[in-house]
């Protein structure tokens, strides 16, 4: 028994020493920034998110769904503005620095444009916590069918992974996936915010059908970026390349499984206008919901009528 206790203590001390060593490698430019120094806030909010995902539908089981149109409009439009700010900050600074879209090492320089990129990456990390609200709105509106594993997996992991990003590699090639994803989120949140205004507005929102394609292109490009980094020996943390590849492959596999199920239920119409479990719109609606005329934000748009 004493041997087991000593071995466990020895292993714990080694793990703690390794943790301290990894902290010594973190980027000095972001030390002292909100929620960056310690993983505790990120872990706490992620666990709280998962707890709400578990208990929320149970609490709402005997309650009527909230419409929340008054809240969805400002929330979605505010998220669109925040993502536009992030994308513009990353684009302008990376352009002035002549960043490579293929491979850009992370250099701990205090150049104003480098700091601008690090600042934008922090806001991108913080926006992943704000996006927890997407799930909370599903729960309050009793859209339990949209609380898929893909949706929860995406939201619960992105926040933690981007804490790693802002902690160790807040610049360099990190800028590209954050910039592209933010640009796509501008279109996505703009759509959901404007669609909540009703059919009079939603009929003019022509870009919804391209969101799925853009998201899939994003996943594929990120995967290619990671593989190319390994192939060319890009001067960027090796473990980041492997993490990116594994994470993107998990998305492609999960989305593929999700899409097959959706396709079997709704046919070839399911591809266009279906978000990849990352937003608040309908991914795919089961037949019962179709018959009941349910749609995103509690309002049935013309496009939804065509699909029913």
Active site residues: 154
CB 35 within 8 A of CB 159: no
**Among 177, 182, 173, residue whose Cα is nearest residue 102:** 173
- Rounded to 5°, the CA angle 24-29-34 comes to 95
Please give the Cα distance from 9 to 46 (Å, whole number): 28
The CA distances from residue 248 to 176, 218, 233, 251, in Å, are 14, 9, 19, 5
**Among 244, 47, 46, 238, residue whose Cα is nearest residue 160:** 46
CB 171 within 8 A of CB 114: yes
Place of tokens 């004493």: 2
CB 147 within 8 A of CB 139: yes
Please give the Cα distance from 83 to 89 (Å, whole number): 10
């Amino acid at each position: 028994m004493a041997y087991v206790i000593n071995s466990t203590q020895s292993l714990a001390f080694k793990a703690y020493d390794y943790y301290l060593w990894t902290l010594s490698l973190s980027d000095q430019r972001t030390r002292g920034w909100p929620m960056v120094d310690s993983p505790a806030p990120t872990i706490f909010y992620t666990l709280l998110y998962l707890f709400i995902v578990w208990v929320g539908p149970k609490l709402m089981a005997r309650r009527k769904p909230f419409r929340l149109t008054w809240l969805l409009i400002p929330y979605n439009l505010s998220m669109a503005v925040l993502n536009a700010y992030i994308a513009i900050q990353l684009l302008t600074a990376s352009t002035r620095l002549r960043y490579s879209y293929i491979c850009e090492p992370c250099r701990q320089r205090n150049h104003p444009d480098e700091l601008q990129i690090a600042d934008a990456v922090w806001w991108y990390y913080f926006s992943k916590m704000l996006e927890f609200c997407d799930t909370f709105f599903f729960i309050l509106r009793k859209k339990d069918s949209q609380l898929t594993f893909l949706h929860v997996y995406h939201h619960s992991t992105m926040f933690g992974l981007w804490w790693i990003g802002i902690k160790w590699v807040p610049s360099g090639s990190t800028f590209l996936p954050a910039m592209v994803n933010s640009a796509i989120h501008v279109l996505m949140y703009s759509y959901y915010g404007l669609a909540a205004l009703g059919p009079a507005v939603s009929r003019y929102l022509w870009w919804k059908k391209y969101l799925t394609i853009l998201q899939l292109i994003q996943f594929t490009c990120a995967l290619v970026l990671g593989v190319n980094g390994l192939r060319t020996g890009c001067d960027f943390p090796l473990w980041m390349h492997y993490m990116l590849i594994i994470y993107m492959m998990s998305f492609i596999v999960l989305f593929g499984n999700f899409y097959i199920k959706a396709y079997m239920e709704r046919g070839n119409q399911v591809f266009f206008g279906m978000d990849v479990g990352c937003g608040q719109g309908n991914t795919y609606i089961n037949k019962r919901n179709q018959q009941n005329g349910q749609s995103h934000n509690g309002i049935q748009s013309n496009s939804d009528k065509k699909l029913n």
